[in-house]
Amino acid sequence: MLITLFSVSCWAYDGTPKEQVNSFFNDYSKGDYERATTQLFEKKKMRGTQTQMLITMQQQLSAAPNAFGEYIGNENIYYDELSPSLIRVVEIAKYEYHALVWEFYFYKPKDKWIASEITFKDSFTILDSKK
C-alpha cells in the first residue's frame, strides 16, 4: 500500500509542520480520514488525477482498521529540517497488528508552511533508506 499526494484543496491546517501533523493525527485518530487528508492539503491547488488520488487514499485509510486492527496512536520517527524551506516528518500510525509509516514533506515558499507531499505505506523500508 503506497500512496503519494503532491497536492489537494478545502480547509487548511495552520502552524508549524509539527502542529499540522498533530492536527492531522487528531482527526485521523477519530477515523475522520477525509477531513484529515483534505485539510492537510488545503493550501495546495488540486489538479487532474490528484482528486482521484485523494479519494483512493481516503478509501485505503478507511480499510486500514480491517487490515491492521484498532488504531492505537502515532509516534514521531524523524523530524528533519532539510533546509530553511523544506522539512520532512516521518511518523508511524500504530494499529493493533501492524503500523503504517507516514512521510510528510512541508515546504515554506514565503511565510507559511504548506504540506507539499505525503506518502504512507505498510512497509518499514522508508525508515532505513532516508536517514
* Confidence at residue 8, expressed as pLDDT on a 0 to 100 scale: 38
Q: What percent of the chain has pLDDT over 70?
A: 79
pLDDT, tens only, 27-55: 989 988 888 888 877 655 555 566 677 77
Regions of the chain short of the pLDDT cut 70? 1-12, 42-51, 126, 128-131
Cβ distance 62 to 56 under 8 Å? no
- At 127, the amino acid letter reads L
pTM for the model: 0.80
- How would DSSP label each residue in 62-109? HHHHHHH-SEEEEEEEEEEEEETTEEEEEEEEEESS-EEEEEEEEE-S
DSSP 3-state assignment of 110? coil
